[in-house]
Every structure is written in structure tokens, then in C-alpha cells.
Structure 1
Amino acid sequence: MHSEWLSIRRGAAPLLLSMPHSGIDLRGFESRFVSPWLARRDADWWIDQLYGFATALDVTIVRTTVSRSVIDVNRDPSGRSLYPGRATTELCPGTTFDGEPLYLDNATVTPAEIEERRLQYFDPYHAALRSEIERLRQRHANIVLYDCHSIRSHIPRLFDGELPQFNIGTNDGQSCAPALSDAVVAACASSNFSHVLNGRFKGGYITRFHGRPAEGVHAVQMELACRGYIDEPTGPVSPENWPAPFDLDFAKPLRTVLETVLGRCIEFALKPAYVQAGISHAQNR
């Protein structure tokens, strides 16, 4: 199923991939931004290509092509910060990750515009997620919602130092059974890449809102440091060097780990006793 900006690839496996930030479509607002490049800079670059192998697993994929600079479908629509006291961006961001103004003359998005964009893009995206979750739950007692993300490895405004390559978020264990996070962590730990569970990125609105392990919906966010799968510049990025192109050979080592991760997610969902034990563990913590 495809619309002008929303695509849904339906599969039968108990795994749903969400791609909320891989889009770069500015929806006609180009002239209002400082530059189209700046408005697209913080996209989750090439995520759809990186996870291209997932269709062979018969997974479901929900993806928006709308840029997060227009509206971020992974933010709380109430405006509440997902990381109180930490720098972050809003539902309709006014700044980049680095704190630079997105709009000319430091303009802001009006409440009426925010509401319009929410109705046009945010609500349909989450309606699609809910619909696919319900469809898969009719087939499977347990499913995994896996939220796909990436980010530059160094953004001092958001985090200190260099981000691990694999950043696994489960809202501090609330969005999935421990058995699932254990399986994902084990897959990452067996690689040559660095990883962390519930570090700087614990999962955004999608993970926190839709993850309901007691109801058979186990959500996990995977935030990848870009250097793991593209030749990320070591210094400042500019239109001349960013985004780095996608090279499958360069991405292959990390992609191989992701293949294992998604395989473990499906394996987890298909083992009812394993899942239920994990839920009981979570409830007793």
C-alpha cells in the first residue's frame, strides 16, 4: 500500500519495522527553511536501503517520506519532552540537532500550522502503525515493533563524546519483555561494534506509546551511529560531504549484525513460553 508520502509493505512475520525519519520530502516548505540541505541534514540517511534485506524475512514496513523537519512523527504530540532536562527537538522543530535555526529569520511554526501538520501526517502514520499491529496480532500472540533510526556519531548538543554504534532503547525496560532486549543486546555484543541499552536514546514516542508487552506488542528502538554503515566525515558536515553515499560493501558488516537482530526478534515472537517468561520477569522487577 502506498500513498503520496506513506508506504506500507505488509508481511506475515511477527515483526513490524517503523521508519519515521528516513524521509527528506519538505512538502513545499523549501522556501521557508534556511536551506533545503539544512532541513534534510538530520534525516536517518539510507535507513530504507540499509534494511533492504528485511523484505526477504516477510516483515511489515511502515515508512513516511516526509522530512522530520516538517513534522517529527516520533515526538509526543502533546509537546511533552521525551528527555526532560536534555536538549531535543520538537514535534515541528524550530532548530536542527546542533541548535541552528531551521526557518528564515528564526521564524517559528504557529500552533495552527502544527495542528494542520499533525492531522495531515502524524495521525495517519500512527493510524497505520495501529492498523498493522492489529493485523499482525490477529496472526500472532506476540509481535515486535522495531523502530529504525540513525544519527551522526558526534552531536555535542545532544550527547557527550562518540555515540556507540548500536543504541538499543526499550524505555528502561517498559516497552518490551526483558527476553527481547536480552536477545537484541546479545546479537550486538557478539559483533565488533559498540552497543548500549537505554543509554542516551531510550526510545521515542513510537516505542513508548505502542510498546505494550502485556498485550503482546513488544517495542524496541534501534538508533545507529552513522559511522557504522556509511563513511561518516570525522569533522563538521557540509553540503559537500553530507550525506555520505550509501555503499553496500561498507555497510555489510553492520548490516550482517542487523540481519541477526531481526532474526532474533522474529524468533522471540514465535516462542510463546519464552515471551511469557519475559513478561513475568518484567512484572516482578
Structure 2
Amino acid sequence: MRIVDDFSEGPAFEILEPTAPAVPFVFNAPHSGTTYPRDLLQRTKLDRLTLRRSEDTFVDELFDGVVRKGAPLMRAHFPRVYLDLNREDNELDPAMFSGPLKAPVNADSARVAGGLGVIARIVGERQDIYASLLPPAEAERRLDTYYRPYHRALASRIDATVNAFGTCVLVDCHSMPSGAVKFLDEKATARPDIILGDRFGTSCSPLLTDELSRLLRRRGFVVGRNRPYAGGFITEKYGTPPRVHAIQMEINRALYMNEATFARSDGFIDLQEALDEVCAELIQWFAAVHLDTGWSMAAE
């Protein structure tokens, strides 16, 4: 956890660009940020470990091998508890603010009702984040300074990939608490390791989801699909197959970290290497089924 006054000394987000020949994939880690603005810490009534419970800690590092394979990796440095990039910009709870908000809001959103709008009200076990109401201008400041530039950059990188290859696969990378899902079904004997979300086949070709699931299962992972994580705002917004195939990956945190101390566990390297192999094979598979686009792995 790093604490800053603002992001004047370093970027609020970045895109790690590949030096290898490009491939039609974009990886995104919108919740892996661990740099906390000081104003958030001054406004919260929670201790720092509790505040961090919504982080997808280390997820950007788990996937950073894709950059060497030709795919950009976008990642936020600010934390999800400060601003959730996987929400619409109007998913705001007016009750969190001391006055009327500038723009119309979607206060009826199920995510807002649950306390998890674009500016979250709760974290962890439904613990209120803020000690007092926020000024209305704070919502617009966070959206203008961080949210909208991030989505403009992500949309631009996706468009550039589509222009180059005729298509793009957006892999939205997340993690889930180990206790979030008990079992996949009544007959299951193990908790899921990874859940793939493709909005029930609407944000991504089911063939791609099938192949990613197969590659993961072949390495011994217990893989779920769409329940309880079907994909959030990002997969819904950007997933427009066949132009853009957007798929969400939720990884069980117990595979790679101590959830109480936020430290890497002994399983981190093994998981990182396994995901690196899976991503490489998925890229090769996608090349084989999209030869009609004129793109081939042979170009590498």
C-alpha cells in the first residue's frame, strides 16, 4: 500500500505496451491498484487493512507476462474503494453526498443499492467507508480526473487493436475472496479457482470461453462460468462480438496470497506461470481460428 497526496508524481493508471509483435488482445486490471490518495484515508473511518478488502491485489502482476507476448496490459494504480472503473459513471448514491449531484444519476442500480456504485459506500462485510457525507463536487472530480480518462484510454487501445486486426479480445482480470463462492453446484467437492464471465455468451464468443475454460481445466483448475460473476460494466460495455470479445476472469485469492496480510503466498509464482502459459495458448488458438483476418502467429 502506497499513500500519495495526488498522482502528480506518477500516473493514476498506465498501459504496459508490448515490444513483441502485436496480437489482437488487450488485458485490463482495473481493480489492482494499491496507491491510496491521502484524502480517502482522511475521510474513512476504517483501518487500512479493512479498506483494502476490495483490492484485486497483485492481479496485474499475475498477468504481466502477456506484455512479452504482444498484448498490452492496462492497470489502475488508484484502488477500487476510491473509484470503481467497473461501474457506469452515473451509478452514484445521492445519500452519500451532502448536496445534490451535478448530473443525473442511476440511483436505482442494483449495484448502488448494494453499496457498490462507482464510488462505493461499503467495503468488506458491509462496513461503511466514510465517516461523513462527501461534498458533491468530489464525485465529479474523481470521475473527471480518473474514471473518464481511464475509459477513454481503454477504448482507444481497443479501437487501435480492431483497426489493426479486424477484431480484439479484451480480457478483464479480477480476483475474488476465497469465501465468495462455496461450490459450483450441489455435486461439487471443491471451491472454484477461476470463474469466467462472458455475460452468458453475449459479450464474447462462447467458443472462446470454451477454449479458455479447457486450457485452465487442463492445468487442474476448477473453473466456473458466469455464476456468480457474469462480467461487470466493462465486459457489458466493450463486449460487442465479433468486433470485440470481452471476457472476465475472477481468480480465487487463496491461490496466490494471504488474504489477511495482503502478502504473496508460495503459490504466486506457480499461478503466474500457469496463467502465462494459458494466455500464450489462447493467443495461438485465436490466431488459428481467425486466419481469414490475415493475421497469423507466423508473423512473429
**TM-score per shorter chain, which class?**
0.7 to 0.9
Establish whether residue 258 from structure 1 lines up as the match of residue 285 from structure 2: no
> Do structure 1's residue 38 and structure 2's residue 50 form an aligned pair?
yes
Does 1:270 find its partner at 2:287? Answer: yes
Cα distance in 1 for residues equivalent to 2:207 and 2:118: 32
CA contact (8 A) 1:76 1:82 kept: no
The CA deviation at 1:274 is 7.9
Q: CA deviation at 1:227?
A: 0.9
- 1:1-285 aligned at under 5 Å gives the runs 4-11=11-18, 12-29=22-39, 30-34=41-45, 35-79=47-91, 87=114, 89-104=116-131, 107-155=132-180, 164-214=192-242, 216-232=243-259, 241-243=260-262, 245-247=263-265, 249-273=266-290
Q: TM-score, normalised by structure 1?
A: 0.81
Question: 1:84 Cα shift?
Answer: 6.6
Following the alignment from structure 2 to structure 1, what is the Cα–Cα distance between the partners of residues 85 and 272?
Answer: 25
Off by >4 Å, runs of 4+ in structure 1: 80-88, 159-163, 272-276
Aligned-partner SS, 2:73 = strand
How far apart are the structure 2 equivalents of 1:44 and 1:222?
11
Structure 1 unaligned runs (5+)?
Answer: 233-240, 277-285
Within 2, Cα distance between the matches of 1:275 and 1:262?
21
- Range with greater deviation from structure 2 (11-20 or 50-59): 50-59
Q: Which has the larger radius of gyration?
A: 2
Q: Work out whether residues 149 and 221 of structure 1, in 8 Å CA contact, stay in contact via their aligned partners in 2.
A: yes
Work out the CA distance in 1 between the residues paired with 2:68 and 2:179: 33
SS across alignment from 1:41: helix
Deviation at 1:257, TM superposition (A): 3.3
Answer 1 or 2: higher relative contact order, Cα 8 Å, separation at least 6: 1
User: Is the alpha carbon distance of 1:198 and 1:138 closer, same or farther for their aligned partners in structure 2, counting shifts above 3 Å?
Assistant: same
Letter in 2 for 1:198: N
CA contact (8 A) 2:196 2:229 kept: yes
Compute the displacement of 1:272 (Å). Answer: 5.0
Classify 1:211/1:18 alpha carbon distance in 2 versus 1 (closer, same or farther; 3 Å).
same
Cα distance in 1 between the residues matched to 2:113 and 2:284 = 35
In structure 2, list runs of 5 or more residues that go unmatched: 1-8, 92-105, 184-189, 294-300
SS in 2 for 1:74: coil
2:17 touches 2:67 (CA, 8 Å); kept in 1?
Answer: no
Structure 2: distance between partners of 1:83 and 1:262: 33
Distance 2:244 2:292 in 1: 11
Give the Å deviation of 1:275.
Answer: 9.1
Q: TM-score, normalised by structure 2?
A: 0.78
Aligned AA (2:227) = G
- Tell me by how many angstroms 1:135 deviates: 1.3
